């Protein structure tokens, strides 16, 4: 079976950079050795002269002048050594990354993690060689294919494990859908993230089936399986809306959903936090929890406070592009089924 073009390109590049590295190291060694040799030679001439030796003094003096005028250490060694040292360090890094990339592609199946690290190294700002820049698109294509293979294997295992909880897994690598959540797998860094709708709720999860599922189930419990009193929630939300209006020096009107959320968080704090505010006394109420409650009590249950109901306002395109001006509310069974809400107001329920 013939080698793939990528493997042949990598082998050629490895040979080229290995030769460049050997040449740079040889010059580095030669410069360092020559500087030491000339320093010792100058010292030897000086000692020899002090002993009134038999050699012609004029010849010895001329030889010493030649060595001094050359000033090899300052003019050559000190001028070239820093740049040469950097070149050796960069070439060594390139060569190792190329060898790692070759080993990763030669693996069966290809090692996506190792290849990702090699590509990241070759994209370092200090590596500007045109040959490496030209090679990167090829390596990135190989990386994408390797990640797709790894994702397919990971996806099958994840789907089988979630089926034991009667949870269907959708999407495709590296974005998997489980109900209103997305599981984002980064095979290069071996980390996963959990997203509710469009809100990241967990990150830097070790990319194993067990740890990923554990994190997912924890977020489902934290967001969707809480006990929440709908009547108390709508009362607090009405108060939050009123407070936001009061700060705008008006009695009622449309208010940003983010302002209402902020006021809602403050209203949900216990007395201990209000008297001694601290991290330990703070009662967390995440945006994802609020978004879930908003869908449940505003859309699904249509809760009202003394006849006042919430009127949500869909965000414009520019508002939807800003996290400070809107909030994504999941209303269906998919994380992508919902609306960006920019503001809300209360109005009397029509009889």
pLDDT on residue 101: 92
User: H or E stretch including 160?
Assistant: helix 130-163
- pLDDT, averaged across the chain: 86
Give the sheet arrangement for strand 191-196, strand by strand: 170-172, 175-178, 181-186, 191-196, 199-206
Strand partners, 347: 309
Q: SS in 3 state form for 278-293?
A: CCCCCCCCCHHHHHHH
Instruction: For residue 171, give the nearest of 331, 332, 335, 288 by alpha carbon.
Output: 335
- For residue 125, is pLDDT > 60? yes
pLDDT on residue 2: 47
Measured between alpha carbons, how far is residue 225 from residues 16, 197, 332 in Å?
60, 16, 16
CA-CA distance, 263 to 261, in Å (whole number)? 5
Instruction: For residue 336, give the nearest of 215, 206, 171, 214 by alpha carbon.
Output: 171
pLDDT on residue 41: 57
Instruction: Name the residue ranges covered by the structural domains of the chain.
Output: 5-106, 148-224, 230-348
Average pLDDT over residues 64-86: 62
CA dihedral 296, 298, 303, 309 (to 10 degrees): 180
User: Three-class SS of residue 135?
Assistant: helix
Helices (H), 191-310: 209-224, 230-247, 257-267, 271-275, 287-294
Is pTM beyond 0.95 here?
Answer: no
Please state the φ and ψ torsions of residue 346, each to the nearest 5 degrees: -105, 145
Contact 154, 162 (CB under 8 A): no
CA-CA distance, 218 to 240, in Å (whole number)? 28
> 293-328 pLDDT, tens per residue?
999 999 999 999 999 999 999 999 999 999 999 999
Tell me the CA end-to-end span of the chain in Å, nearest whole number.
Answer: 79
pLDDT on residue 281: 74
- Going by pLDDT thresholds of 50, 70 and 90, the confidence category of residue 152 is confident
Distance of CA 163 to the CA centre of its chain: 30
Would you give the DSSP letter of residue 175? E
- For residue 288, is pLDDT > 90? yes
Q: What are the structure tokens assigned to 35, written together?
A: 């500087």
- Contact residues for 132 (Cβ-Cβ < 8 A; gap 6+): 13, 94, 122
User: Three-class SS of residue 144?
Assistant: helix
24-38, 79-93, 120-134, 166-180: least confident range: 24-38
- For residue 42, is pLDDT > 70? no
CA-CA distance, 60 to 48, in Å (whole number)? 9
- Contact residues for 267 (Cβ-Cβ < 8 A; gap 6+): 236, 239, 240, 243
Q: What are the structure tokens assigned to 326, written together?
A: 């809107």
18-32, 109-123, 321-335: least confident range: 18-32
Contact 183, 212 (CB under 8 A): yes
């Amino acid at each position: 079976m013939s080698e793939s073009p990528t493997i042949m390109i990598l082998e050629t590049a490895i040979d080229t950079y290995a030769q460049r590295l050997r040449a740079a190291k040889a010059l580095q060694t030669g410069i360092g050795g020559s500087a030491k040799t000339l320093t010792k030679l100058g010292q030897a001439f000086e000692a020899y002269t002090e002993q009134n030796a038999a050699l012609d003094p004029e010849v010895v003096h001329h030889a010493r002048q030649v060595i001094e005028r050359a000033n090899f250490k300052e003019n050559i060694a000190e001028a070239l050594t820093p740049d040469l040292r950097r070149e050796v360090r960069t070439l060594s890094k390139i060569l190792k990354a190329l060898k790692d990339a070759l080993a990763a592609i030669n693996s069966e199946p290809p090692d996506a993690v190792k290849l990702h690290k090699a590509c990241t190294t070759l994209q370092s700002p200090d590596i500007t060689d045109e040959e490496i820049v030209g090679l990167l698109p090829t390596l990135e294509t190989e990386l994408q294919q390797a990640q797709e293979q790894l994702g397919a294997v990971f996806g099958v295992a994840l789907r089988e494990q979630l089926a034991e909880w009667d949870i269907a897994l959708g999407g495709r690598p590296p974005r998997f859908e489980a109900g209103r959540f997305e599981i984002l797998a980064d095979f290069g860094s071996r980390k996963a993230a959990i997203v509710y709708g469009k809100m990241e709720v967990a990150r830097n999860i070790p990319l194993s089936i067990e740890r990923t599922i554990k994190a997912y189930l924890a977020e489902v419990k934290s967001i969707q399986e809480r006990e929440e009193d709908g009547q108390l929630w709508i009362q607090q939300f009405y108060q939050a809306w009123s407070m936001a209006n009061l700060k705008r020096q008006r009695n009622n009107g449309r208010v940003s959903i983010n302002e209402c959320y902020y006021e809602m968080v403050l209203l949900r704090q216990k007395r201990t936090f209000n008297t001694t505010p601290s991290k330990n006394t703070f009662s967390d109420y995440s945006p994802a929890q609020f978004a879930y409650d908003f869908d449940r009590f505003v859309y699904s249950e249509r809760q009202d406070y003394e006849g006042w109901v919430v009127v949500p306002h869909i965000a414009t395109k520019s508002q939807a592009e800003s996290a400070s001006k809107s909030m994504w509310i999941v209303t269906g069974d998919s994380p992508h089924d919902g609306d960006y809400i920019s503001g809300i107001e209360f109005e009397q329920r029509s009889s």
